[in-house]
Amino acid sequence: MSGGDRDADGAWQRTVRAQFPIITAHPELAYLDSAATSQKPRAVLDAVQSYLTSANANAGRGSYPWANRTTAAIERARDRVREFLGDPEPDRSTVHFTSGATEGLRTVARDWLTEYLDDGDEILVPFADHRANLEPWLEARRLLAARGTEVRVRALPYQEVSGDYDHRALASVVGPRTRFVAATHVHHVYGGDMNVHRLRAAVGPRVPICLDAAQSVGHLPLRVGDPALDVDFVVFSGHKALALPGTGAVWARNTRGPLLRPAGWQGTPNTVGVVSLLAALDWLDAVGVDRVCAHVAALATRLTDRLRHLDAYEILGCPASLSSDTALPAAQRRHGIVAFRHRDIPSHDLGFILFSHGFMVRADSHCQAGADDEDRSVRVSLHVYNTGEEIDRLLTVLASLG
């Protein structure tokens, strides 16, 4: 990158950062926990305030103007999700709003998967990703067993060092009764692209795949029309994509298996949350998700390139994929999440130490399935409002503890 390009990128980032009131109000603090929840730009906050002070009503339950405007906003948000995901067949797909990714995954598990599987079928699920992408599928198996339908749950294989799915070992777990795969797009601890295209190649063209995109939507481009991302469900949380908490969505392609029809009476939606999601997606498109992704990846590389030379620290995941001098393809690179441990200081204590220096990080086992207290680590997760100066200050503190 030339000096002029760096200057332009720096000016762009400062302009973007200035749009986050909570960030600019606390310049002494560095928020490095965006994988848990993102901060909200002014455009989202303004959209929420405008809605609540001008058109707050229930959706689909009134004929007066406020109710009509709310109903229209909900439907516009459905279309906006399709557009944001690059849906090539929006007339076929459906979008269901939920309270977040966890409820979205449970919706697919309880209301779709249990109607799709037969006795003796097998499903592949991740046993070392976020618990939200494991427990719903185990729950579906229990529900089916109560009906007398026995389904086998098989674990996706992992590479020992990197934490990525082991595509070479997939042949040993995929069989003629494999009917469904649950996968993660970007791992919430290791930050790696999990190469879902390899899962599709292993299971063939007929098996539905559900993608947990909680750490990718709003962070990097995700286009469901891309043949390399031939998935049937995309589930994500709005609050990790700059929208309000209590908001999420399930996009369903509806080409393999039955139409997704959430069971039960659909009560009042989180109207203000959906309005915030609509505003967040508009803001991300205006800013440019490609540019957000590039900025965040550069910060993660800046951190790991120096952290890996500090002997006191162990970086989780494949170190090669975290470095700027690697020849790995882009799909193998990490996306704005860096997890590490100090060899002597417990991660929980390190989290407190870092906060005393103004850094807000996650320091625990990160809701990773199968993990316990011994697996705690410090996780730095970045977004567009973070800066290189924050990373440099963090590295200075980490080096002083070595």
CA–CA distance, 226 with 88 (Å, rounded to integer): 9
Q: Where do the H-state alpha helices sit in 311-365?
A: 347-356
CA–CA distance, 216 with 117 (Å, rounded to integer): 28
If asked whether residues 15 and 112 sit together in one domain, one would say no
If asked whether residues 170 and 85 sit together in one domain, one would say yes
CA–CA distance, 390 with 31 (Å, rounded to integer): 9
pLDDT at 374: 72
Residues of the chain under the 50 pLDDT cut: 330-332
Q: What is the DSSP letter of 259?
A: P
Torsion over CA: 13, 15, 17, 19 (sign): negative
CATH code, domain with 348: 3.90.1150.10
Q: Which among 286, 306, 333 is the end of a domain?
A: 286
If asked whether residues 244 and 333 sit together in one domain, one would say no
Q: Which among 252, 286, 320 is the end of a domain?
A: 286
Number of domains comprising the chain: 2
Q: If DSSP states are collapsed to H, E and C, what string results for 146-192?
A: HCCCCCEEEECCECCCCCCECHHHHHHCCCCCEEEEEEECECCCCCE
If asked whether residues 191 and 176 sit together in one domain, one would say yes
If asked whether residues 109 and 253 sit together in one domain, one would say yes
| 3-state SS class at 72 | helix
Cβ atoms of 229 and 186 closer than 8 Å: no
Torsion over CA: 275, 18, 237, 333 (sign): positive
pLDDT at 8: 65
Both structure tokens of 92: 């076929």
If asked whether residues 308 and 280 sit together in one domain, one would say no
pLDDT at 327: 54
If asked whether residues 236 and 298 sit together in one domain, one would say no
Q: CB-based contacts of 192: which residues, under 8 Å, 6+ apart?
A: 162, 163, 164, 186, 317, 318, 321, 332, 333, 334, 335
pLDDT at 293: 95
Both structure tokens of 355: 């906060």
Q: What is the DSSP letter of 130?
A: B
Cβ atoms of 273 and 243 closer than 8 Å: yes
Both structure tokens of 285: 């498109």
For residue 146, the enclosing domain spans 46-286
How far the first Cα of the chain sits from its last, in Å, is 32
Closest CA to 401 of 355, 342, 349: 342
- Angle between the 388-400 and 347-356 helix axes, to the nearest 10 degrees? 120
pLDDT at 97: 97
Q: Which among 238, 264, 286 is the end of a domain?
A: 286
CATH code, domain with 122: 3.40.640.10
Q: Where do the H-state alpha helices sit in 172-270?
A: 196-203
> What average pLDDT does the chain have?
93
If asked whether residues 178 and 273 sit together in one domain, one would say yes
If asked whether residues 149 and 79 sit together in one domain, one would say yes
Closest CA to 255 of 207, 188, 313: 207
Closest CA to 209 of 153, 256, 262: 256
If asked whether residues 95 and 232 sit together in one domain, one would say yes
pLDDT at 393: 98
Cβ atoms of 170 and 198 closer than 8 Å: yes
If asked whether residues 247 and 352 sit together in one domain, one would say no
If asked whether residues 58 and 29 sit together in one domain, one would say no
